[in-house]
Amino acid sequence: MRLSEITHPNQLHGLTISQLESIAKEIRQKHLETIAATGGHLGPGLGVVELTLALYQTLDLDRDKVVWDVGHQAYPHKLITGRYKDFHTLRQKDGIAGYLNRRESEFDHFGAGHASTSISAALGMAIARDLQGENYKTVAIIGDGSLTGGMALEAINHAGHLPKTNLLVVLNDNEMSISANVGAIPKYLNKMRLSPPMKFITNNLEGQIRNIPFVGEQISPEIERIKDNLKIVTMVQNKVGAVFEELGFTYIGPVDGHNLKELIATFKMAHTLTGPVMVHVSTTKGKGYSYAEADRVGYHAQNSFDIATGKAKPSTSSKPKPPSYSKVFADTLIKLAEHDKRIVAITAAMSTGTGLDKFQAALPNQFIDVGIAEQHALTVAAGMACEGMRPVAAIYSTFLQRGFDQIVHDICIQSLPVFLCLDRAGIVGADGPTHQGMYDIAYLRCIPNIVLMAPKDEAEMQNMIVTGLTHNGPTAMRYPRGNGVGAPLQDEDIEPLPIGKAEVLREGKDVLLLAYGSMVYPSLQVAELLNEHGVSATVVNARFAKPLDTELILPLAQKIGKVVTVEEGCLMGGFGSAVLEAFSDANVLIPTYRIGVPDILVEHASPEQSFNSLGLSSGQICDRILKQFAFSQQTATSTN
């Protein structure tokens, strides 16, 4: 059977090891070819090919439920669940999603894009199954990096208290999350990986039992149970699994994650056990592609690349790109921290993505990676701030959502000087709705004591970094994914900004554009386009969403009489809402048009496609403003 012929995972039933190995090769080839063309997560999926095939051969996917943690590693799952012919559209607009999505396939039993959710979800399914009197298997597949997340440990604690609830947890242990794992749990798992692998009772055990007098060809159910128990005793004899055993799990492993025969036998046996079971599978991230195996961090995810060389395809543009916001953030923070030992950079397993891998290399004693544990990262920062340190927590906007209570309870209520740096704020592109940084303005703006700011460019980001480090209270700075606009950077004597002060970048009489962060430069472009239609626009760089510069904004709004707010975030509760609230509080009634992301999920697509579909390109914003306020060239000119 060829991979292209598989439209249902149950078609794996009955295939020989040789046939499965052939399909595994095809999966890796298709995986490589697709990611090389479209970009996406490479190493995680390559590492779980055999695990996926072996597990699915032992399940009935018309009934059984499988929950993949995060979804980075679920590309092989997608290829054998009816999406082979469309796989070339991976992460493209209207194509196959890069993560699991319940709307995309009946076999995506639980959607995910964030880590550490799988055991909780699968346990919930198992509990529902038992309450409804049904009988199917539930399986959670979780990586060793995700196991450091508090939610995963909470789920293990709960499952271990339910000895009659059948649940299989497959621990995919490749020693990595995106970067190398940190902490005591990965160290413990590494000890388990290095321990002698589990051994099966020899295949002639059954033949030996048949030779016992009075047994012969008929093996009674009692003797079958003895045989199974002997296998179990042999497989779980490894003492390093004692922690999971004490927590209520039957531990099996470590198992070679690339040995199909061993994996199939292990999963079959695990399905016969009662209660929560953990199968520890040792895999190699990037398996089968030498470049990915050698650089497990760099090949976790890739833009389009050349398979033969492993190198990124050359850019079609000869113009050098400005540095990324993440690079400017890290470089600036390093310079400041070299002269202030109170500054400590904190990340939650995202040192490379946030640029803090450079900080770690330069100042290892002022760097902390807590693993996938955003809540813990924030409260550690709060504790450090209590003792006079200046902690900087660099966390993607979408991941900071996971620590909302810690921001409220541990940081803002106590008004501690913790500096939150929100990378990937706004539209992120092909990762889709689980990763879009849409909500941080809204979910942070409502909390007392916090200052919210967003730079218009990389130079202003430097000023805001100093602002966040010198303000004696909680601050948050949001900034987008990707490159800056090319603003000249400051080498030294970077000044903080006055808290809550905006700046006027362009003056006009017909309409006031209040822009926040990444939408400032597009708003300047909008003003140029409006001018071509005879509409004169004032453009204000708000800088701060909280506190708003009402001393500047209110008089300008009253003078001009028409206001447009522009932001790269959700409209509900966002920057535009803050402006409307300020108008309401001042009892000022001014026609105000909010432009941003409406109350929808932004699906996977290129950032440019997303901006266009949301009406957020400069040309579209111009057209929307002309239509909203019924501007015409004649009427606009007459007011000038």
Distance CA(374)–CA(120), nearest Å, equals 17
Distance CA(541)–CA(28), nearest Å, equals 49
Geometric angle at alpha carbon 419, from 417 and 420, rounded to 5°: 140
What is the edge-to-edge ordering of all strands in the sheet holding 544-546? 367-369, 343-347, 390-396, 419-423, 475-478, 451-453, 544-546
Nearest to 117 by CA among 106, 109, 128, 107: 109
For residue 554, give Cα distances in angstroms to 107, 514, 551.
54, 11, 6
Give the CA radius of gyration of the chain: 28
Q: Considering the candidates 193, 231, 402, 562, report the single residue annotated as catalytic.
A: 402
Q: Considering the candidates 50, 374, 458, 460, report the single residue annotated as catalytic.
A: 374
Distance CA(66)–CA(205), nearest Å, equals 32
Write out the DSSP string of 194-237: TSPPP-PPPTTHHHHHHTSTTTTT---HHHHHHHHHHHHHHHT-
Evaluate the omega torsion of the peptide bond into residue 254 and state whether it is cis, within 30 degrees of 0: yes
374 given a catalytic annotation? yes
509 given a catalytic annotation? no
Q: Give the 3-state secondary structure of residue 154.
A: helix
Q: Considering the candidates 78, 83, 193, 285, report the single residue annotated as catalytic.
A: 285
Residue whose token pair is 């046939």: 19
Q: At what angle do helices 17-38 and 49-57 cross, to 10 degrees?
A: 130
Distance CA(394)–CA(479), nearest Å, equals 11
| DSSP element (H, E) containing 69 | none
**Farthest CA pair distance, the chain:** 110
134 given a catalytic annotation? no
Nearest to 516 by CA among 598, 578, 431: 578
Going by C-beta distance under 8 Å and a sequence separation of 6 or more, which residues neighbour residue 596? 565, 566, 567, 568, 569, 570, 571, 574, 575, 576, 616
Going by C-beta distance under 8 Å and a sequence separation of 6 or more, which residues neighbour residue 123? 138, 140, 155, 158, 159, 162, 165, 167
Distance CA(356)–CA(347), nearest Å, equals 8
Exposure b/e, 476-511, CB count within 10 A at least 16 = b: bbbbbbbebeebebbeeebeebebbebeebbebebb
Residues identified as active-site: 285, 374, 402
